[in-house]
Amino acid sequence: MEEKNIKILAIESSCDETAAAVVENGRKVLSNVISTQIDIHTLYGGVVPEIASRKHLERINQVVKEALKQASVTLEDIDAVAVTYGPGLVGALLVGTAEAKAIAYAAGKPLVGVHHIEGHIAANYIENQDLEPPFMCLIVSGGHTHLVVVEDYDKFNIIGRTRDDAAGEAFDKVARSIGLGYPDAITFPKAKMSDNPYDFSFSGLKSAVLNYLNHAKMTGEEVNPNDLAASFQKAVVQVLVEHAIRGTKEHGFRKLALAGGVASNSALRASLKEACEKNGITLYYPSPIFCTDNAAMIGAAGYYEYKKGRRSGWDLNAAASLKLGER
Ligand code: ZN
């Protein structure tokens, strides 16, 4: 007997993208609508939480409507509504969860709360039909740097994490503003932790950059910002690649997936690709459109949660600092 196709309507609003998507059987994207607020927040030099919430509220109905329309489905065709309920900006998350709850309740459909990072991992399933757990996953985004063993679709073991979120943010900015420049110009120390070999810490590296700038200022040396940014990026990439490859090998995996907003960074991809080839590891990564925050990845993760029988109650709340694998 052929199994019924499961269609998930997914909503994502954890940061500065208002997004909705319709995904079939966890891997086929029928629509993927993203309304970005980047231009607004750029004026303030960063995401302003209250503005983000207000913009989500203004746009979310239209974004959901558009996602259904582009997928040529109505709410009746949908099997479940999946939504990011954490982690993220609490006000932003509340808009998405309230929207998802209202739609699911009104349409009489089950509600599935999804972890944002689980969504980033699941983004890899969309274009890699052969990728199935278990595998190793390196997640790099503005606020997260995680090395995770994906044991099953809904089971995760974090073996390494960042001790310093701000550095991830810094890397994001550096990575976006430049391509691969002159990476050998300045040598920075590697960002490593001694007590857990897989953990990441970028505070030492950040200090090194600041010290370098200070020294240059005092001695009247000219600093090439491109050199500096490229060197910083190189040092960050080096440690990310090293940890990911070592973790993959030491855990006996031959599959490594890359996920998160920074996963589309070309220097990181190139360096990881080369290291994977050298070590006989198959590298998976999503297209840039599925690396940035989007709802298709939430639909992919939501499908596997739905298949496992997981349902959220009407009391589903935003969880700003939700841990991966926590429910
Ligand atoms: Zn994200």
Q: Find the 6 Cα to ligand 1 centroid distance in Å.
A: 25
Residue with the bigger pLDDT between 43 and 79: it is: 79
d(CA 20, CA 63) in angstroms, rounded, equals 6
Q: Which residues pair with 147 in a beta bridge?
A: 138, 160
* Residue 263: pLDDT band with limits 50, 70, 90: confident
Q: Find the 14 Cα to ligand 1 centroid distance in Å.
A: 8
- Range of weakest confidence among 102-116, 119-133, 140-154: 140-154
* Residue 271: pLDDT band with limits 50, 70, 90: very high
Instruction: Report the pLDDT value the prediction gives residue 54, as an integer from 0 to 100.
Output: 95
Tokens 């994490």: give the residue: 161
Q: Find the 214 Cα to ligand 1 centroid distance in Å.
A: 33
Instruction: Report the pLDDT value the prediction gives residue 188, as an integer from 0 to 100.
Output: 63
Q: Find the 280 Cα to ligand 1 centroid distance in Å.
A: 29
What lies within 8 Å, CB to CB, of 209 at 6+ separation is 188, 228, 232
Instruction: Report the pLDDT value the prediction gives residue 230, as an integer from 0 to 100.
Output: 81
Q: Find the 291 Cα to ligand 1 centroid distance in Å.
A: 8
Is 81's pLDDT higher than 90? yes
Q: Which residue type, as a one-letter code, is found at position 73?
A: V
d(CA 193, CA 48) in angstroms, rounded, equals 32
Q: Find the 227 Cα to ligand 1 centroid distance in Å.
A: 28
* Residue 292: pLDDT band with limits 50, 70, 90: very high
Q: Find the 17 Cα to ligand 1 centroid distance in Å.
A: 9
Among candidate residues 211, 203, 274, 258, the one with its CA nearest the CA of residue 235: 203
- Average pLDDT in the 167-182 region? 49
Q: Find the 283 Cα to ligand 1 centroid distance in Å.
A: 20
Q: Whole-prediction pTM value?
A: 0.90
Q: Find the 261 Cα to ligand 1 centroid distance in Å.
A: 6
Instruction: Report the pLDDT value the prediction gives residue 213, as an integer from 0 to 100.
Output: 79
Q: Find the 89 Cα to ligand 1 centroid distance in Å.
A: 11
- Average pLDDT in the 75-103 region? 97
Q: Find the 255 Cα to ligand 1 centroid distance in Å.
A: 22
Contact assessment for residue 141 and residue 168, using Cβ atoms and an 8 Å cutoff: yes
Q: Find the 52 Cα to ligand 1 centroid distance in Å.
A: 15
The length of the chain, given as a count of residues: 327
* Residue 170: pLDDT band with limits 50, 70, 90: low
Q: Find the 237 Cα to ligand 1 centroid distance in Å.
A: 19
Q: Find the 268 Cα to ligand 1 centroid distance in Å.
A: 17
Encoding tokens for residue 16?
A: 């500065």
Q: Is 118 exposed, middle or buried (0-12, 13-18, 19+ CB in 10 A)?
A: buried
Is 192's pLDDT higher than 60? no
- Range of weakest confidence among 145-159, 168-182, 201-215, 290-304: 168-182
Cα Dmax for the chain:
76
Among candidate residues 22, 55, 112, the one with its CA nearest the CA of residue 295: 22
- Average pLDDT in the 143-150 region? 90
Q: Name the average pLDDT for the chain.
A: 89
Is 166's pLDDT higher than 50? no
Is 216's pLDDT higher than 90? no
Instruction: Report the pLDDT value the prediction gives residue 182, as an integer from 0 to 100.
Output: 37
Q: Find the 284 Cα to ligand 1 centroid distance in Å.
A: 18
Q: Find the 2 Cα to ligand 1 centroid distance in Å.
A: 35
Q: Find the 181 Cα to ligand 1 centroid distance in Å.
A: 26
Which range, 6-15, 166-175, 182-191, 225-234, is most confident?
6-15
Encoding tokens for residue 40?
A: 């607004």
Q: Find the 15 Cα to ligand 1 centroid distance in Å.
A: 8
- Average pLDDT in the 91-111 region? 98
Residue 45, Ramachandran bin (φ over 0: left; ψ between -120 and 50: alpha; else beta) = left
Q: Find the 142 Cα to ligand 1 centroid distance in Å.
A: 7
* Residue 178: pLDDT band with limits 50, 70, 90: very low
Among candidate residues 3, 11, 65, 5, the one with its CA nearest the CA of residue 299: 11
* Residue 186: pLDDT band with limits 50, 70, 90: low
Q: Find the 139 Cα to ligand 1 centroid distance in Å.
A: 9
Encoding tokens for residue 150?
A: 């994906």
Instruction: Report the pLDDT value the prediction gives residue 172, as an integer from 0 to 100.
Output: 54
d(CA 290, CA 10) in angstroms, rounded, equals 14
CA atoms within 13 A on the CB side of 128: 22
Encoding tokens for residue 293?
A: 């925050």
Q: Find the 120 Cα to ligand 1 centroid distance in Å.
A: 7
Q: Find the 117 Cα to ligand 1 centroid distance in Å.
A: 7
Is 149's pLDDT higher than 70? yes
Instruction: Report the pLDDT value the prediction gives residue 84, as an integer from 0 to 100.
Output: 98
Instruction: Report the pLDDT value the prediction gives residue 296, as an integer from 0 to 100.
Output: 98
Contact assessment for residue 134 and residue 253, using Cβ atoms and an 8 Å cutoff: yes
Q: Find the 154 Cα to ligand 1 centroid distance in Å.
A: 18
Instruction: Report the pLDDT value the prediction gives residue 190, as an integer from 0 to 100.
Output: 63
